[in-house]
Every structure is written in structure tokens, then in C-alpha cells.
């Protein structure tokens, strides 16, 4: 309830209250309140009575829901009976899978003493009644009642009765006034569809590259095959040099033999 209006700087209507509220725990579960008397401490020009039978809100992994119920309501403004009802309810359900739902009910709903039937999501019903306000002539209280039942892909809202109030009248010797007074919401429930769990991505293991077989290096076919060569002395040299040394040695041996033979023959001659 949020009502406020002043005439010539003097408050004639004042009422602000929230009677019964529930919010589902963030981690899941249910919050509720029951058997609350409808009273408006400090109100000016407004009276209210009845009982908030229950307000409840539930949050679960696969669904959320909320509901509100009021019984024996009587709301008066500026000494005039404005809204009366035996029972007013609102309920919503938000499953994770499937359609969301919003529902409202009324038993014995009256506006200014006249029975009314509200249709969801329409302009509603408007009525007015004469009231007495100091400083105004021809004062009138105008009230529009609407009903809301909406669903979306992600949630639902149900407002059983939303009353919008305006005060009109003429200041003595002055202009006609049209004063927005505020609104009263009777039995409201909202819910949201639980989010789908996000699957945990499985890390992809890299595919190992195939191992290439180790191949022994092969001779380059363009290179000539190596040939064996004689082992040379540590001083080095060629094969021709070797044959020269061998020939020279043989000649010396022959020469030595000849010289020995000659020497022996000469000696023999001397001995003779």
C-alpha cells in the first residue's frame, strides 16, 4: 500500500505499508509468513482490516513457485468503503521444463459496495464515490481495479487486485484538481524459471603425432665408392716412392754382394 495526497498543503491521505512478504532463499528452499493482521500504523484518511493468510516463495533446482492469500479484507478511504473481499489469492509456478503459470481468484470482491468481476490483463473496472475533503467542493474518489496474469519464457507474475486511486475536486474559488493518490496491491506473486545447469566442458587431450622410424643414413649415390689404398709410412708418400725405395735397396744388396765376392776373390789371389 502506497497512498498519499494533500490539499492546500495539508495531507488528507497517507498510508504506506507492506503486510506479508516472502523471498525464496538464494540457495534453495522456502520462505513464508502466515496469519498476519492487516493494519496501517500512522495512516491518515485510510483504514484497513483483514488477514494475510499466507505468503510463500519456494526455489528449487527444477522449479520455483510463489503464492499469496488474503481473507476478510476491508479497505476504506476518506470514510468510504472502497474494497471488500472474502478471499483473494495469487499463485505462480515456474518449472525448469514446461510452461510457466499464473493464476488469481476472488470471492466476494466489491468496489464501493458493488460486486465486480476482473478479467486478467484488461483495462479493468473503474468506479467513483463522493467523499468529503476539507478545502474541496465536489470531491470524488476515483478507483480503477485491474488484474494481472502474465507468463513469459523465463517467469510468471500474478497480481490479484491492483487498485489505482485518484482524488478530484475544486478548491473553493479556485481550479479543479486531479490528484494522483497512489496504489494498493492485494495478493501478488512472482517467480522465475530455474536456470539449466551448464555442462562442464571436458578438456580435449592433444593427439600425439605419430613417431617416425629412425632411418640409418644411406650413402649418397652421387658420391663415388671409396677404394682401398696401401698403408703408407708415418712420413707419408705414394706407391711410386715405395717401389723406388725397394729398387734402390735391391741394387745396394746386389752391389754389396758383388763387392764381397770381388773382395773375397782378391783375397784369394793374394793368398795364392
Quick one: pLDDT at residue 193?
95
Quick one: pLDDT at residue 202?
57
> What is the extent of the structural domain holding 62?
2-192
- Comparing 257 with 57, the larger pLDDT belongs to 57
Distance CA 171, CA 40 (A): 29
Question: Does one domain contain both 88 and 179?
Answer: yes
Q: What is the mean pLDDT of residues 252-264?
A: 41
Domain-located, residue 206: no
Domain-located, residue 223: no
**Phi/psi at 74 (nearest 5 deg)?**
-145, 115
pLDDT tens digits, residue range 16-71? 999 999 999 999 999 999 999 999 999 999 999 999 999 999 999 999 999 999 99
Question: Does one domain contain both 71 and 175?
Answer: yes
Quick one: pLDDT at residue 212?
57
CA Rg value for the chain: 57
In the structure grid, which three cell numbers stand for residue 169, read together?
A: 475536486
**pLDDT confidence bin for 137, thresholds 50/70/90:** very high
Question: Does one domain contain both 135 and 251?
Answer: no
Distance CA 233, CA 29 (A): 103
Which residues are CB-neighbours of 220 under 8 A, at least 6 positions away? none
Quick one: pLDDT at residue 213?
52
Quick one: pLDDT at residue 69?
98
Q: How deeply is 174 buried, as exposed, middle or buried, from its count of CB atoms within 10 A (0-12, 13-18, 19+)?
A: exposed
Question: Does one domain contain both 156 and 70?
Answer: yes
Question: Does one domain contain both 98 and 159?
Answer: yes
Other CB atoms within a 10 A radius of the CB of residue 112 amount to 15
Quick one: pLDDT at residue 141?
98
Question: Does one domain contain both 168 and 244?
Answer: no
- How many domains, in total, are found in the chain? 2
Distance CA 50, CA 71 (A): 6
Residue 163 reports pLDDT greater than 60: yes
Question: Does one domain contain both 188 and 74?
Answer: yes
Domain-located, residue 18: yes
pLDDT tens digits, residue range 202-216? 555 555 555 555 545
Amino acid at each position: 500500500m502506497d497512498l498519499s495526497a494533500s490539499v492546500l498543503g495539508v495531507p488528507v491521505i497517507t498510508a504506506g505499508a507492506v503486510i506479508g512478504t516472502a523471498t525464496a532463499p538464494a540457495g534453495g528452499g522456502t520462505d513464508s509468513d502466515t496469519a498476519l493482521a492487516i493494519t496501517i500504523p500512522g495512516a491518515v484518511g485510510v483504514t484497513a482490516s483483514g488477514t494475510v493468510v499466507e505468503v510463500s516463495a519456494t526455489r528449487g533446482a527444477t522449479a520455483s513457485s510463489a503464492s499469496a492469500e488474503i481473507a476478510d479484507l476491508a479497505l476504506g478511504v476518506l470514510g468510504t468503503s472502497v474494497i471488500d473481499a472474502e478471499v483473494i489469492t495469487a499463485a505462480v509456478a515456474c518449472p525448469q521444463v514446461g510452461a510457466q503459470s499464473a493464476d488469481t481468484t476472488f470471492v466476494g470482491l466489491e468496489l464501493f459496495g458493488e460486486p465486480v468481476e476482473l478479467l486478467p490483463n484488461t483495462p479493468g473496472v473503474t468506479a467513483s464515490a463522493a467523499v468529503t475533503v476539507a478545502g474541496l467542493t465536489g470531491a470524488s474518489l476515483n478507483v480503477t481495479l485491474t488484474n494481472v496474469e502474465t507468463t513469459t519464457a523465463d517467469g510468471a507474475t500474478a497480481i490479484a487486485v491492483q487498485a489505482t486511486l485518484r482524488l478530484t475536486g475544486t478548491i473553493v474559488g479556485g481550479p479543479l484538481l486531479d490528484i494522483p493518490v497512489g496504489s494498493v496491491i492485494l495478493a501478488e506473486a512472482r517467480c522465475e524459471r530455474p536456470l539449466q545447469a551448464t555442462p562442464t566442458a571436458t578438456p580435449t587431450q592433444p593427439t600425439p603425432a605419430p613417431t617416425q622410424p629412425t632411418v640409418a643414413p644411406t650413402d649418397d649415390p652421387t658420391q663415388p665408392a671409396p677404394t682401398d689404398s696401401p698403408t703408407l709410412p708415418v712420413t707419408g708418400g705414394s706407391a711410386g716412392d715405395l717401389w723406388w725405395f725397394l729398387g734402390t735397396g735391391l741394387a745396394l744388396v746386389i752391389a754389396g754382394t758383388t763387392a764381397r765376392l770381388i773382395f773375397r776373390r782378391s783375397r784369394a789371389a793374394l793368398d795364392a
